[in-house]
C-alpha cells in the first residue's frame, strides 16, 4: 500500500513537471507569434504617412496573431507606392507567405515602376516557383503627390473607392486576375486623379464579409456608405469610421477573417 502511494506521488510529480513544460512552451509560442506579428506590421510601414497635401493611413486587424492580409506603403522616387492584398487563409499558414509577397511587390514596383507590369512579373514568378502558393489578391497603386494622379492595377482585389469632394463615388476596377492562377494572365493599369478634398479607400474582403447575428454580410454597399459619411475627415478618422461601422453591424458576432484598410486623403488646399 505504501509502495503504491509512493508510485502515485511520483507519477503526479511527473505529470506536474510535464504540465509546467507545456505551459512554458505555450508561452514561448505565444511570444514568438506576437513578435512575428510585430515584424509583419513593421514590414507594412508606418500607420500614417504625410506628404503634403496627402496623408495615407493604413491598418491591419488580424483575426489571429498573424495576418494573411497585408499592406505596404513606401516612397518610390518622388511618388508614393501603396499595396493592399489578401493571401487566402489566415493565421500561421497565410502569415508565412506575407514577407515573401510583400518583398516581391516592393522589388518589382521599384524595378519596373508600373503597377500592371509589376503584377505581371509577380504572377509569372509565383507560377514558376511551383510551391502551390495560396491564391493572392492585390491592389497596387502609384501616387504622384505633385499632381494627385494615381496609377493602379488590381489583381482580383475588391475595387477601391474614391469619394469625391463634390461628386459621386467612383469604383476602381481596372486590373487582371488573382495572382498565381493563370500563366497567361494580362494586367492593365487604371488611372484616376485625387483632387482637393477627395479620399481613396481600399480594403480587403474581411470587412465586407463581416456578418451579424442573422448571418447577413456587411457588404460593399455599407462600406461605401460608411466612407461617404466620413467624407471630409482625415485619413485616420475615415479608416476607423469604416471599421467602427462594420463592428457596430456585427454586434456580438466574432470576426472570421483578417481585415486590412488603407485610406489616401488629399486635403483641401
Per-chain mean pLDDT for the chain: 87
Instruction: Determine the average pLDDT of the residues in 60-76.
Output: 85
Look at residue 82 in the predicted model and tell me its pLDDT.
Answer: 97
pLDDT > 80? residue 40: no
Instruction: Determine the average pLDDT of the residues in 16-43.
Output: 63
Domain range annotation of the chain: 1-43, 44-266
Q: Please give the model's pTM, rounded to 2 decimal places.
A: 0.85
pLDDT > 60? residue 2: no
Instruction: Determine the average pLDDT of the residues in 113-124.
Output: 96
Instruction: Determine the average pLDDT of the residues in 36-62.
Output: 81
Q: What is the 3-state secondary structure (H, E, C) of the chain?
A: CHHHHHHHHHHHHHHHHHHHHHHHHHHHHHHHHHHHHHHHHHHCCCCEEEECCEEEEEEEECCCCCCCEEEEEEEECCEEEEEEEEECCCHHHHHHHHHHHHHHHHHHHHHHCCHHHHHHHHHHHHHHHCCCCCCEEEEEEEECCCCCEEEEEEEECCCEEEECCCCCEEEECCEECCECCCCCCCCCCEEEECCCCCEEEEECHHHHCCECCCCCECHHHHHHHHHHHCCCCCHHHHHHHHHHHHHHHHCCCCCCCCEEEEEEEECCC
Q: What's the topology of domain 44-266?
A: Phosphatase 2c; domain 1 (3.60.40)
Residue 255's pLDDT band (cuts 50, 70, 90): confident
Amino acid at each position: 500500500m505504501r509502495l503504491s502511494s509512493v508510485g502515485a506521488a511520483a507519477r503526479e510529480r511527473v505529470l506536474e513537471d510535464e504540465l509546467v513544460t507545456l505551459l512554458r512552451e505555450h508561452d514561448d509560442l505565444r511570444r514568438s507569434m506576437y513578435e512575428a506579428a510585430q515584424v509583419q506590421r513593421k514590414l507594412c510601414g508606418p500607420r500614417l504617412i504625410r506628404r503634403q497635401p496627402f496623408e495615407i493611413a493604413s491598418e491591419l486587424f488580424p483575426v489571429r496573431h498573424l495576418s494573411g492580409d497585408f499592406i505596404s506603403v513606401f516612397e518610390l522616387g518622388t511618388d508614393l507606392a501603396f499595396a493592399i492584398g489578401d493571401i487566402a487563409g489566415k493565421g500561421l499558414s497565410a502569415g508565412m507567405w506575407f514577407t515573401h509577397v510583400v518583398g516581391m511587390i516592393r522589388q518589382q514596383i521599384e524595378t519596373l515602376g508600373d503597377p500592371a507590369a509589376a503584377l505581371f512579373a509577380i504572377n509569372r514568378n509565383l507560377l514558376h516557383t511551383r510551391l502551390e502558393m495560396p491564391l493572392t489578391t492585390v491592389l497596387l497603386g502609384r501616387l504622384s503627390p505633385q499632381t494627385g494622379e494615381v496609377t493602379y492595377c488590381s489583381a482580383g482585389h475588391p475595387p477601391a473607392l474614391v469619394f469625391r469632394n463634390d461628386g459621386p463615388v467612383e469604383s476602381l476596377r481596372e486590373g487582371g486576375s488573382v495572382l498565381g492562377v493563370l500563366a497567361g494572365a494580362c494586367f492593365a493599369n487604371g488611372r484616376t486623379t485625387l483632387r482637393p478634398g477627395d479620399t481613396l479607400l481600399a480594403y480587403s474582403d474581411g470587412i465586407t464579409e463581416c456578418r451579424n447575428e442573422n448571418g447577413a454580410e456587411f457588404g460593399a454597399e455599407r462600406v461605401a456608405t460608411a466612407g461617404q459619411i466620413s467624407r471630409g475627415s482625415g485619413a485616420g478618422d475615415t479608416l476607423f469610421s469604416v471599421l467602427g461601422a462594420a463592428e457596430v453591424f456585427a454586434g456580438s458576432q466574432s470576426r472570421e477573417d483578417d481585415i486590412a484598410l488603407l485610406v489616401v486623403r488629399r486635403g483641401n488646399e
